[in-house]
Amino acid sequence: MEITVTEQLSRTVVVAPKERLDAFSAPQMRERLEALLAEGVTQFVIDLSQTPFLDSAGMAVLVSLLKRARQAGGDVKLVKPASEAVQRILLLTRFDKVFDMLDSVPAN
C-alpha cells in the first residue's frame, strides 16, 4: 500500500497599521507587504482595529494584497476596525463581502 503524508506549514502574518492608511502611507505599506510576499508569506491578517482612517489608496493596497496572496494559494482576512469612519468605508465599498472579517486577531 502506498501512503503519502505531506506536512504543510503555513505562516500567517498579522499586520496592524496604527496610523492612517491613506495616500501618504499606502506606498510604505505596499512596500512592506510586497517584501513579506517575496519572503513566501501567503496568509495575512490585516488588523484594522486601531486604524483611524482608510482611503482609496489604502483600499487599493488591500485589494492588491488579496489578489497576490490568493494567486499564491493564500488569503487575507481583516480584523474589524474600531473607527466608525473605517467601518463605514468598508461597508460602502462592500469590502466586508470581499474579505473575511474577524472580530479580533486569532490566537496562535
Q: How confident is the model over 31-79, as pLDDT tens digits?
A: 999 999 999 999 999 999 999 999 999 999 999 999 999 999 999 999 9
Q: Where are the domains of the chain?
A: 12-102
Instruction: Tell me the helices (H) and strands (E) count for the chain, helix number first.
Output: 4, 4
89 Cα distance to chain centroid: 16
Amino acid symbol at 74:
G
Residue 93 or 106, more confident: 93
User: What does the pLDDT read at residue 64?
Assistant: 97
Q: How many CB atoms lie within 10 A of CB 49?
A: 17
Is it the case that residue 27 has pLDDT exceeding 90?
Answer: yes
Give me the pLDDT at residue 85, please.
93
pLDDT tens digits for 71-92? 999 999 999 999 999 999 999 9
Instruction: Please state, in angstroms and rounded to a whole number, the distance separating the CA atoms of residues 22 and 103.
Output: 23
Instruction: Report pTM.
Output: 0.88
Homologous superfamily, domain 12-102: STAS domain (3.30.750.24)
Report residue 7's pLDDT band, with 50, 70 and 90 as the boundaries: low
Q: Write out 55-94 in H/E/C secondary structure.
A: CHHHHHHHHHHHHHHHHCCCEEEEECCCCHHHHHHHHHCC
| Reported confidence tier of residue 4, pLDDT bands at 50, 70, 90 | low
Q: Is there a contact between 108 and 85 (Cβ–Cβ < 8 Å)?
A: no
